[in-house]
Structure 1
Amino acid sequence: MCIVFIATTHPKYRLILIDNRDEFVLRPTSRPYWWKCADPLREGHTVDVLSARDLQRPERGTWLGITRSGLVAVLTNFREIASADQPGPALHGRRSRGGMVTAWLGQPPDEGVRSSVARLVADGEGVQGVGGFSMVCGKLRPGKATEEDDDHDGLAILSNRAGSLDDVPIVKSQHRGVWGLTNTAHDKSHEWPKISNGLGPFEDIVRAHGEAGDAVDEDDLIQRLLDFLTTDTLEGCEGKTLEDNVHDLKNSIFIPPLGAEKQHREMEEARAAGGGAARGTFLAHDMPTPERPDDEEPGMFFDKGLYGTQRQTVILVDYEGNVTFVERALWDAHGHRLEKGEGDVTFRFKIEKEEEK
């Protein structure tokens, strides 16, 4: 389970994107860092990407990322079964969903959104062979959006069901609105209570901050958004497994740690495997992130232990091209729960203009 909220209505920020990643909390995942992604059109060229990465699969993909040139993508998965909107962990496809995010982030920044989407859908197998997913992907440039930008910028909503460009909704850069995405097909997300009940409060936070002007700063907005991402309305889940709760997960924005006695025992085993150190020795923000994720040991417990919200992310992009990327880890690498703020990391950079590259 994951959830994404997006707003383009703030007077200062061209894009506000917030995300909860719900996973087995022991699934090996890097912290966010800058890494090189291959450019599919220019052999030997790479793109600088900022993201955390899933270390479980060899593709080392990601569910969310942004580049120095303003490409951004975030993905949620869903089960491709008889009832596509049935909640629960998605079935695995032959190809990695996380690879779709990196495929987008590697696209040429000077190319229009429509052209890049068309290539992504048409190249090779396109989006076939990937498990069910919906991905919001876009290109952002500094400055107020104009009609001319609509041919270049904007946000596309790509899914594994897209057979051609005609199957991909594209939101023009001048459009103002709020959206939510979760673990069902993108055109059905509004049917889930976690989206339908969350859009209003999310929009209120964005509107209130925008109306306050200089009276409140960016950190205030970030904290309000992180607090919103911790909205827990899942009732009666204590001592129950993921399977016991699976049909209720579509009701809550935040998923508390789920598990019975067996899963709690697996968490203790994971902590012991980490050296038995007390919580705090392996705080997520203190752990070095290798330049090459291959250097990091794969986890042994990716589908064991507790399940719940593992990471929370806030991305703010203002009209000057300034980006603030905040990730909050709720657990360290060995299964110790982190206190609020202990697992926070923040990156700030400015989107490069074409002439600066």
Structure 2
Amino acid sequence: MLILFQLQEHPHYKLILTANRDEFYNRPTAQAQFWQTAPTILAGRDLEQMGTWLGITKEGRVAALTNYRDPKQMKFGKFSRGAIVSNYLESMDTAEHYLEALRKDKLNYVGFNVLVGNPNELAYYNNIEDSMTAIPPGTHGLSNHFLNTPWPKVEKGKKKLQEYTLNREKIIVEDLFQILSDSEEADEKEIPDTGIDKELEKRLSPMFIALPDYGTRCSTVVTIDNNNYVTFSERTFQAGEQAYEVNMEFQIE
């Protein structure tokens, strides 16, 4: 998973958020929609555990999650990490209170990073180093380590997002999808060492991943302007080829 976002930095948008969700192709997933079980939530859904990786509500609650890559952490957790996002979106709790409660259960989950909040303020938590922080205004990136860890895909994505939004009054969704579609592998000397095979690490280094059995399953673009108007667009891919597209717009209630 890769999340690139700009918080309270653009003169016309409170939040610009883009993300690629990477997963095994055979894991059953529903494309983004308002959930029948929770009609205020707009998100895709993991049909294996019934959680999600990224979503927004009609009230403007926002949450997104990435896994923390560390082979030593690859064990079964008591709880599904996807529930972290859906539980926040369904709750009425503040971001701070939600994360304080979550950290009490941190050992029940395999390693994760989570962003929770709203277009005005976001908070970040990682259960490996048990770090919780309010995210300052600016352009940020999160992959499978910590917030703003300078992995090649994170640094490239942040640079592209910042350059694109600079002096641009209106954000074009298609242009953000183009940023997310970058499939160039990182230079070998820049690839991080996370404990997995170096060749696999290299093949996981692009922003958009397309391996034989694993890769980017969907790309999502969310913008929330200063009038609290939301645009949500998501493209679903099958083995690197676009299969579906969802476009939603609504006013935060």
Q: TM-score, normalised by structure 2?
A: 0.86
Match of 2:200 in 1: 246
Displacement of 1:252 in angstroms is 1.2
Counterpart-to-counterpart distance in 2, 1:105 and 1:198: 26
Aligned length: 244
Q: Does 1:48 align with 2:26?
A: no
Displacement of 1:30 in angstroms is 0.3
Match of 2:113 in 1: 134
Match of 1:118 in 2: 100
Counterpart-to-counterpart distance in 2, 1:78 and 1:177: 23
SS at match of 1:17: strand
1:6 partner letter: F
Counterpart-to-counterpart distance in 1, 2:39 and 2:134: 24
CA RMSD of aligned residues (A): 2.5
Counterpart-to-counterpart distance in 2, 1:117 and 1:23: 25
| Alpha carbons of structure 1 residues 112 and 78: separation in structure 2 relative to 1, 3 Å | closer
Displacement of 1:197 in angstroms is 2.5
Counterpart-to-counterpart distance in 2, 1:212 and 1:179: 18
Displacement of 1:119 in angstroms is 3.1
Counterpart-to-counterpart distance in 2, 1:21 and 1:157: 18
Displacement of 1:112 in angstroms is 3.7
Displacement of 1:96 in angstroms is 0.5
Q: Does 1:169 align with 2:111?
A: no
Displacement of 1:212 in angstroms is 3.7
Match of 1:3 in 2: 2
Aligned residues: percent identity? Answer: 30
Aligned pairs for 1:16-165 within 5 A: 16-35=16-35, 48-57=40-49, 60-81=50-71, 90-108=74-92, 112-122=94-104, 126-140=105-119, 153-161=120-128
1:115 partner letter: H
Counterpart-to-counterpart distance in 2, 1:4 and 1:70: 18
Q: Does 1:323 align with 2:211?
A: no
Displacement of 1:115 in angstroms is 2.7
SS at match of 2:101: helix
Structure 2: state its 5+ residue gaps: 187-195
Mapped contact 1:7–1:16 kept (Cα < 8 A): yes
Q: Which has the higher strand share?
A: 2
Counterpart-to-counterpart distance in 1, 2:214 and 2:75: 16
Q: Which has the higher helix share?
A: 1
Counterpart-to-counterpart distance in 1, 2:107 and 2:36: 25
Match of 1:149 in 2: none
Larger Rg: 1
Structure 1: state its 5+ residue gaps: 38-45, 85-89, 141-152, 236-241, 260-305, 353-357
* CA deviation profile, 1:225-281 (whole Å, cap 9, x unmatched): 10110111128xxxxxx978422145311112x23xxxxxxxxxxxxxxxxxxxxxx
* CA deviation profile, 1:296-325 (whole Å, cap 9, x unmatched): xxxxxxxxxx21111000011111111111
Match of 1:184 in 2: 145
